[in-house]
Amino acid sequence: MEDFGTRTDLALESARMFSEKNGRLPGVKIEEYDAGDTGIHVTRVRIVDETGARALGKAMGDYITLDAPMLETADEDSHKAITEAVAGQLKRLAPDIHERNVLVAGIGNRQMSPDALGPLVADHLFITRHLLETYGRDAEVTRGMGCVSALAPGVMAQTGMETGEILRGAIKETRPDLLIVVDSLAARSVGRLNRTIQMTDTGIAPGAGIGNRRYGISKDTVGIPVIAIGIPTVIDAAAIVSDTMERMLNAMEQAGPLSEKETGDDGLPGQARRMAAAFDDQERYLLMRELMDPEMMDMFVTPKNMDEIIGRMSYTVSEAINSLCHPDL
Amino acid sequence: MEDFGTRTDLALESARMFSEKNGRLPGVKIEEYDAGDTGIHVTRVRIVDETGARALGKAMGDYITLDAPMLETADEDSHKAITEAVAGQLKRLAPDIHERNVLVAGIGNRQMSPDALGPLVADHLFITRHLLETYGRDAEVTRGMGCVSALAPGVMAQTGMETGEILRGAIKETRPDLLIVVDSLAARSVGRLNRTIQMTDTGIAPGAGIGNRRYGISKDTVGIPVIAIGIPTVIDAAAIVSDTMERMLNAMEQAGPLSEKETGDDGLPGQARRMAAAFDDQERYLLMRELMDPEMMDMFVTPKNMDEIIGRMSYTVSEAINSLCHPDL
Amino acid sequence: MEDFGTRTDLALESARMFSEKNGRLPGVKIEEYDAGDTGIHVTRVRIVDETGARALGKAMGDYITLDAPMLETADEDSHKAITEAVAGQLKRLAPDIHERNVLVAGIGNRQMSPDALGPLVADHLFITRHLLETYGRDAEVTRGMGCVSALAPGVMAQTGMETGEILRGAIKETRPDLLIVVDSLAARSVGRLNRTIQMTDTGIAPGAGIGNRRYGISKDTVGIPVIAIGIPTVIDAAAIVSDTMERMLNAMEQAGPLSEKETGDDGLPGQARRMAAAFDDQERYLLMRELMDPEMMDMFVTPKNMDEIIGRMSYTVSEAINSLCHPDL
Amino acid sequence: MEDFGTRTDLALESARMFSEKNGRLPGVKIEEYDAGDTGIHVTRVRIVDETGARALGKAMGDYITLDAPMLETADEDSHKAITEAVAGQLKRLAPDIHERNVLVAGIGNRQMSPDALGPLVADHLFITRHLLETYGRDAEVTRGMGCVSALAPGVMAQTGMETGEILRGAIKETRPDLLIVVDSLAARSVGRLNRTIQMTDTGIAPGAGIGNRRYGISKDTVGIPVIAIGIPTVIDAAAIVSDTMERMLNAMEQAGPLSEKETGDDGLPGQARRMAAAFDDQERYLLMRELMDPEMMDMFVTPKNMDEIIGRMSYTVSEAINSLCHPDL
């Protein structure tokens, strides 16, 4: 299932792709609803047993997805609505978060806009652990504060260390009791880019995200509960090719011969129909990966104005965390 | 020819594609050689008349391309060799550059790594115009200095102005007599990404580069000679799809049926052969553009570690300009 | 008056210092009030004739100062109040701003936190000029938009050009009818640092700000009305020394001999009294400048966490401009 | 000795100040020489016993200081000379560095230029630990590599954690056997700013540097040997005041009465002489600290173009580390 994992970091996409192909999805429960009239759609994918985990190539647990088409745009009201929705769903995953000692890890490369979500979220947090350590919880200066620390350790090419190693070390030394990891994700579909926020209590799977993380970050590896918040900011190049191929085959099927140069007696429509039937979505994707220039494996596809978008989205996530961890401020 | 322009900013690639299709290339002269044993290959494409200009969709003039496979890597010796080769070729385009009053424009968006070449080059230049204005050319403090000013005005989404407008204004006020524009380019082939430096005396064509520039920057628009230096740092998504499609068709042709599910009596190889024949490279590319998700048009494909690469490449270009403009320092 | 100008960029401080020394202030009208219960104090210094201009070393015109102690801190409500107060006062200086074609110039060095106010404000603006140029004012996509462009050209050491030259050029090419310049200022008093916003319809005086600008930016030099918005983010080192000296003299006067080593028969208190009488504030400042290490002239004094503060303050200013220029969005 | 520690992070300055006052310096050995004709002056201060440690307020160990007036300027030859000198002295402190598993910690705040030395040095290092972990030491791809990892964890206000805690955790998880910490320092004298590099085998003392570190980073706290490399990039404001005061007193003593307004019968020269005698340098400094506006305690004094200077200096340090750790590349 390794390749499946690199294809999408969104449990929702995995579930959709699996059920499209297989018709049903054992071991997985899906619940969907609109969040009032905010325009935000909530999907909760619960992988309840090993069958479900194997089917989707993801760990057992809760995956809550907010689909918020206005996430990447600038409107203040929308951002407020999304912030509240994120906070509300995070509270479902960790009801007592404001009483916990929370470490937030901003995963990713601060220098590359699509990978900078985590570090930018960490930048905007209201950090209090050092104040509570110095003044105690009962001091005037710390009144109403939750306990938050943060680390944006950079990526392996910059540090030579796994992010998981650095976090595990910091956790052993500073003893938080909840880890929130924030990371950029890879999506399968252009339509989800910068519009979807996934929150899960499973942490981060090995190989997920934009970078080259080999080990996962979860309760098993760091020793405390882990909540992961991610937004897909890139699509992998093979997904683009595969999608376009599918559109081409559909177009060929509907439109008849595309070119007068085409002289085959069978005609392209029939051939396309057979070719389209010959591969399902997953097979076509894997084929595309195989056919692509190997150098493409280390590339990603991202919008030209990602620098602006990532700035706005990071504020939305950090404000949700701030409001949850410091509810009395 | 508009679409052709978005396909590649490299005259060399345009020439290659045109002659592959048409066999010959009227109005264009190509000269190639290896630069000693440096591993750098030099190609000079001279578009000498309007026929050539129309054929390649580029302005008449000199396009010098350095192909330096080691450009993106860190080795100090290689960088020195490339720096010298860039300086040598720039000197062919502007022999008296050290006597000129040079304005360097760093085009692009500083916040997006693949588009940051121009701004980073501007950052590393040795800026002297204000010193010469203050102390004169004969002062002790300005001894040996050429006259260099620089501007990195940002992209239209940040300024609301065309880069060409800002530059034309600055040129009228500060009266340089040579403009060097440095910009990130889009390439057609993965193999040219971060390995090729193009220098031309034609300036920048409308629609070139990564951003959404509508007007060109050339002697016609800014009133003084313009030399453009560019490095391809992105590929447009349609090019990736088109390339992979070609590889697929080739693979199908050679390998026979790919899947046991394939049941057509004619067999895929024959169909692929006909399909491959039905489109040339340019037609396939345009078809892919049409089939792609429209949102993909505002996306680009770039390596995951572009932040490191762009830093190194910007030093190479800025050192070449520094050594040419201030030869006595 | 040149030295006076480097001492403080705030007309309010100049007025206070002048009247402390001279008792009265001809040619200057001062109006003060509290802005409701917001905690913001407004002072309007109007220099109405040449006498006043000479006395304060500042151009004739309106200088509105908001004193907002909570400006540098993080509270969302306070920021909203300040944003509204800034917008309200700007509207007094330019009542029809939303109907104008506005160019905002973010003056200063983006790489140095205390000097980055202008560039960061420019980053956060909602830029629309290019959309209005493309689609016109009656299009669906531009409905409700005011016309805003922006430029953050960098400082002279980076460009080799005066900021005023670059702006004049851009103004001639793109024809805005109002220029707003945003800049970091130098204050005389620690108590004003990051707490005061000055708005004036006189533009920026020669030599003002943190950088080494030689020419001013005003209607006289750029040809269109200029509103300047500034926040003091640094104090010059001589001011610090002078202040401390004054505190020392006061302390000596009050406290009697400071040290048992003191053996003079006259006693320090008497000497200090005479020394304190020997210089007024301005003379002491100029003496300190003369006595200081010459290298100190190119240094400034700034808080250790200026990076956080400047980020927050830039949002406050940019939101005020956004709300004024695009009132219907 | 706490205040003494905040006064200068340079053992050399501490030694000079102590011996000026006391005439001799027990428990400290000082060795000085010029590094060939490079213009670099080397001073080695060895604190050999507890008496010396108490006298200077610094831990026992070796403190090597390079005084390189050309450090902050751009010349390529000078930088090469300094790089080699730094590498040479580091090798004295850790002769087998290329065989060690080295973790480099870039201490400080990346967003504030004077505090960004450490993070920028970390950015420029050639990081290899992850490659050696993946491919082993005998692979083609790792040939000649030393083992280097790096971490720039940010400052306590950003993380809520002590830098020492984060490093200790990372060290326990990734098992390096030598820690190099790179940090910006505070100097006492303007003349040392951006011109002096201090290297020591004692690590970083509590309260040293620009930030508010409470705990030190040394073998005692992190469990492995620690080498610290620092460059003074700021002066604390009290030092500036104290220096200027001293210059004033000297000037008064030499020049006679400064003002005709002075009417005391004893005359200022005599008073100044007594006042000058009344305090030594250290007492005057502490007095100034007490007299200064309390807000000044969180401020620093730094050059206006620190952004350019810190960029160049970080390259010098990182190249020295790269050449030492990877001598075969």
Confirm whether C23 is domain-assigned. Answer: yes
Confirm whether D263 is domain-assigned. Answer: yes
What is the model's pLDDT at position D151?
Answer: 98
Give A199→chain D minimum CA distance, Å: 23
pLDDT tens-digit map of D239-275: 777 777 777 777 666 655 444 444 344 444 455 455 5
Tokens of D141: 């791809």
Residues 6+ apart with CB under 8 A from B165: C170, C173, C174
Confirm whether A6 is domain-assigned. Answer: no
Angle at which helix B306-325 crosses helix B117-124, to 10 degrees, equals 50
Q: Phi first, then psi: what are they for B270, rounded to 5°?
A: -65, -40
Residue C63 has pLDDT above 80, yes or no: yes
What is the model's pLDDT at position D255?
Answer: 56
pLDDT band at A261 (very low <50, low <70, confident <90, very high): very low
pLDDT tens-digit map of A212-223: 666 789 999 999
* Mean predicted confidence (pLDDT) in D42-68: 93
* Mean predicted confidence (pLDDT) in D112-131: 96
What stretches of B273-318 adopt beta strand conformation (E)? 299-303
Q: Nearest residue on chain C to D156, judged by CA atoms?
A: C305
d(CA D58, CA B32): 64
Give C243→chain D minimum CA distance, Å: 8
Q: Nearest residue on chain D to C158, judged by CA atoms?
A: D308
**Would you say C148 and B160 are in contact if contact means Cβ atoms under 8 Å apart?**
yes
Here the CATH number for the domain that contains residue A313 is: 3.40.50.1450
What is the model's pLDDT at position C3?
Answer: 36
Tokens of D89: 């002295």
What is the model's pLDDT at position D90?
Answer: 96
What is the model's pLDDT at position D1?
Answer: 26
Q: Phi first, then psi: what are they for C67, rounded to 5°?
A: -105, 110
Element (H, E) at B75: none
Bridge partners of residue C30, in order along the sequence: C45
Most confident segment among A188-192, B193-197, C270-274, C283-287: B193-197
**Would you say C120 and C106 are in contact if contact means Cβ atoms under 8 Å apart?**
yes
- Identify the CA nearest to A227 among candidates A111, A126, A132, A96: A96
Burial D288-325 (b: 16+ CB within 10 A, else e): bbebbbeebeebbbbbbbbbbbbbbbbbbbbbbbbbbb
Residue D6 has pLDDT above 70, yes or no: no
Q: B74 with B198, same domain? A: yes
What is the model's pLDDT at position B291?
Answer: 74
Residue C33 has pLDDT above 90, yes or no: yes
d(CA D120, CA B89): 33
* Mean predicted confidence (pLDDT) in D172-177: 97
Q: D196 with D294, same domain? A: no
What is the model's pLDDT at position B6?
Answer: 44
Q: D128 with D262, same domain? A: no
Confirm whether D2 is domain-assigned. Answer: no
Confirm whether A5 is domain-assigned. Answer: no
pLDDT tens-digit map of A142-186: 998 999 999 999 999 999 999 999 999 999 999 999 999 999 998
Residues of C in contact with B170 (CB under 8 A): 161, 165-166, 169-170
Our CA angle for C128, C134, C135, nearest 5°, is 90
**Would you say C102 and C148 are in contact if contact means Cβ atoms under 8 Å apart?**
yes
d(CA C22, CA C7): 18
Alpha-carbon distances of C56 from C17, C104, C185, C243, rounded to whole Å: 9, 27, 16, 20
Our CA angle for C155, C161, C166, nearest 5°, is 90
Confirm whether B54 is domain-assigned. Answer: yes
Residues of C in contact with D109 (CB under 8 A): 307
Neighboring chains of B (3 or more beta-carbon pairs < 8 A)? A, C
Within 10 angstroms of residue A75's Cβ, the number of other Cβ atoms is 11
Q: D166 with D265, same domain? A: no
Least-confidence region, from C159-168, C185-194, D184-193, D207-216: D207-216
**Would you say B317 and B86 are in contact if contact means Cβ atoms under 8 Å apart?**
yes
d(CA B65, CA B70): 15
In the chain, the amino acid numbered C218 is S
Bridge partners of residue B67, in order along the sequence: B41, B196
Tokens of D172: 């326990």
Mutate to test the interface with D, among A109, A145, A161, A168 (most CBs of D within 10 A): A161
Least-confidence region, from A89-98, C202-211, D131-140: C202-211
Within 10 angstroms of residue A223's Cβ, the number of other Cβ atoms is 12
CB atoms D161 and A171 under 8 Å: no
Residues of B in contact with A239 (CB under 8 A): none
Q: B269 with B134, same domain? A: no
The DSSP symbol for C207 reads: T
Q: Is D164 helix (H, G, I), strand (E, B) or coil?
A: helix
Give A150→chain D minimum CA distance, Å: 5
CB atoms A161 and D153 under 8 Å: no
Least-confidence region, from A82-86, A285-289, B141-145: A285-289
d(CA D97, CA B309): 28
The DSSP symbol for C124 reads: H
Residue B3 has pLDDT above 90, yes or no: no
CB atoms C298 and D291 under 8 Å: no
Within 10 angstroms of residue C292's Cβ, the number of other Cβ atoms is 22
Burial C17-51 (b: 16+ CB within 10 A, else e): bbeeeeeebebbeeeeeebeebebbbbbbbbeeee
CB atoms A151 and D161 under 8 Å: yes
d(CA C209, CA C206): 9
d(CA B316, CA D223): 42
Above pLDDT 70, what percent of chain C?
Answer: 86
* Mean predicted confidence (pLDDT) in B207-220: 77
Q: B248 with B295, same domain? A: yes
d(CA C320, CA C312): 13
Q: Nearest residue on chain C to B104, judged by CA atoms?
A: C159
Alpha-carbon distances of C9 from A72, C63, D272, rounded to whole Å: 39, 11, 34
Domain count, chain A: 2
d(CA A272, CA C179): 60
Confirm whether B93 is domain-assigned. Answer: yes
Q: D167 with D260, same domain? A: no
pLDDT tens-digit map of B48-82: 999 999 888 889 999 999 999 888 876 778 888 99
Residues of D in contact with A131 (CB under 8 A): 160
What is the model's pLDDT at position D267?
Answer: 45
The number of helices, as runs of H, and strands, as runs of E, in chain A is 13, 9
The domain of A62 spans 11-238+301-325
The pTM for the full model equals 0.90
**Would you say A292 and B244 are in contact if contact means Cβ atoms under 8 Å apart?**
yes
pLDDT tens-digit map of A106-130: 999 999 999 999 999 999 999 999 9
d(CA A54, CA A32): 22
Q: A285 with A144, same domain? A: no
To the nearest 10°, report the CA torsion of D271, D275, D277, D282.
-160
CB atoms C278 and D262 under 8 Å: yes
Confirm whether D6 is domain-assigned. Answer: no
Q: Nearest residue on chain A to B270, judged by CA atoms?
A: A264
Bridge partners of residue C303, in order along the sequence: D299
Residues 6+ apart with CB under 8 A from C153: B151, B153, C105, C159, C161, C163, C166, C167
What stretches of chain B adopt beta strand conformation (E)? 28-34, 41-47, 61-67, 101-106, 147-151, 178-187, 196-200, 226-236, 299-303
Q: A74 with A192, same domain? A: yes
Bridge partners of residue B149, in order along the sequence: B103
Residues of D in contact with C241 (CB under 8 A): 240-241, 244-245
Q: B171 with B75, same domain? A: yes
pLDDT band at A328 (very low <50, low <70, confident <90, very high): confident
Above pLDDT 90, what percent of chain A?
Answer: 55
Residues of B in contact with C149 (CB under 8 A): 159-161
d(CA B21, CA B13): 12
Q: B315 with B177, same domain? A: yes
**Would you say B64 and B19 are in contact if contact means Cβ atoms under 8 Å apart?**
no
| CA D228 to the chain's CA centroid | 8
d(CA A106, CA A113): 13
- Identify the CA nearest to D324 among candidates D133, D153, D93, D79: D93
Residue B84 has pLDDT above 50, yes or no: yes
Q: B219 with B271, same domain? A: no
Residues 6+ apart with CB under 8 A from C29: C45, C46, C48
Residue A64 has pLDDT above 90, yes or no: yes
**Would you say C197 and C15 are in contact if contact means Cβ atoms under 8 Å apart?**
no
What is the model's pLDDT at position B5?
Answer: 37
